[in-house]
Amino acid sequence: MTKLSNEQTTKDVLGKKSGFQIWWRMLRPHTLTASFIPVFVGTVMASIYTSIHAGLFLAMLTASILIQAATNMFNEYYDFVKGLDTEESVGIGGTIVRDGIAPEKVRNLAFIFYGIAVVLGFYICIQTTFWIAVIGIISMLFGYLYTGGPYPIAYSPFGELFSGFFMGTIIIGISYYIQIEVITGEALLLSLPIAVLIGAIMLSNNIRDLEGDKENGRKTLAILVGRNNAIGVLAGFFLAAYGLTIAFMIMGIMPIWGLITLLSAKKAFNAIQVFKNNHTPLEMMPAMKFTAQTNTIFGFLYGIAFLLNHLYALQTLS
């Protein structure tokens, strides 16, 4: 089922888009759940202790999505500038090399998204503390440096670490803090499974692009450990997310409802199987989808576990 049918050619999959589809594809919408899930989880964890400020939640969610979308655009812009993307490249938005949008437009739109995120961040700071601005600026800087600058993080073995930390732990921590105005070690600890799965998304991307990245001189984790070992590391990431969740339940900081996250395990298994059984970038694209779906389903159920526990406690008290 993972093999491409005869009718599904490279051109069909990567073909030129038009109108709204160009700009929609540029956002790489299938990746944006990596922004939604951390905000959702952090907010849900805070909801146990306080009523949710809807304005802060929406501002944080929108700013996080805009920053990730801008990071995707910077990625596409700088990969094009450095000659790494072509019309046949798999896994990119394709706005520049296939749809003919001027590179400067992509770059400038990314900066506009950053600007809107700054305005939203200012609102958040007014409502909470301006220390949020410091963290936000650092996060946006690293978003830019992920593929921009002289030593892009995405071209190094540390892409998974930085993406997981900033898009997972930091976003969950901020989302939690702006609702309750305190941050705890427990909340940061509970962010780790989400951070690991966001790192898994980056690793799966690097496994798919391993050969092309190697030819272009990148030194990603997948390249350093080799394809088969990288698949093993990805499996380890998945196991770590589930293992940490179970460990947190044993420690008493995660409700027993956390077991529902196991419902996402089939997607993780599918991702590993696709990578093992396929070798071309186009054939491995479903593995990227399964990895992203694992993060989305796991993260949603992870947050729901806290809500279920809270509702159960309220019902017991009544």
Query: What is 74-127 written as a DSSP string?
Result: HHHHHHHHTT---TT-SSS--TTTTT---HHHHHHHHHHHHHHHHHHHHHHHHH
pLDDT digits (tens, 9 = 90+) for 117-174: 999 999 999 999 999 999 989 988 888 888 777 888 988 999 999 999 999 999 999 9
Please state which CATH class domain 13-317 belongs to.
Answer: mainly alpha
pLDDT value of residue 7: 41
Q: Which residues contact 144 (CB under 8 A, 6 or more apart)?
A: 71, 74
**Token duo for residue 301:** 């159920």
Which secondary-structure segment (H or E) carries 280?
A: none
Percent of the chain with pLDDT over 90: 61
Number of neighbours of residue 264 by Cβ within 10 angstroms: 23
Question: CA dist 22 to 64, 134, 289, Å?
Answer: 22, 34, 20
By CB atoms closer than 10 A (0-12, 13-18, 19+), residue 226 is exposed
| Ranges of each domain in the chain | 13-317
DSSP annotation of 170: I
**Both ends of the chain: CA-CA distance in Å?**
51
Contact call for residues 148 and 80 (beta carbons, < 8 A): no
Distance CA(92)–CA(99), nearest Å, equals 12
Percent of the chain with pLDDT over 70: 88
Q: How far is CA 131 from CA 64, 77, 135, in A?
A: 17, 31, 7
pLDDT at residue number 281: 87
CA atoms within 13 A on the CB side of 76: 33
Q: Please, what's the b/e burial string for 229-263 (b: 16 or more CB within 10 A of its CB; e: otherwise)?
A: ebbebbbebbebbbebbeebbeeeebbebbebbee
Residue 93 reports pLDDT greater than 70: no
| 63 pLDDT above the threshold of 90 | yes
Per-residue pLDDT at 297 exceeds 90: yes
pLDDT at 81: 78
What CA–CA distance (Å, rounded) separates 313 from 316?
Answer: 5
| Residue 276 confidence (pLDDT) | 96
Q: Which of 172-186, 206-220, 260-274, 289-303 has the lowest mean pLDDT?
A: 206-220
- How confident is residue 237, by pLDDT bands cut at 50, 70 and 90? very high
Could you read off the pLDDT of 184-234 as tens digits, one per residue? 999 999 999 999 999 999 999 999 989 888 887 889 999 999 999 999 999
CA distance 45 to 223: 37
Contact status, residue 295 vs residue 197, Cβ threshold 8 Å: yes
Q: Which residues contact 53 (CB under 8 A, 6 or more apart)?
A: 127, 178, 179
Whether the pTM exceeds 0.75: the reply is: yes
72: DSSP letter: H
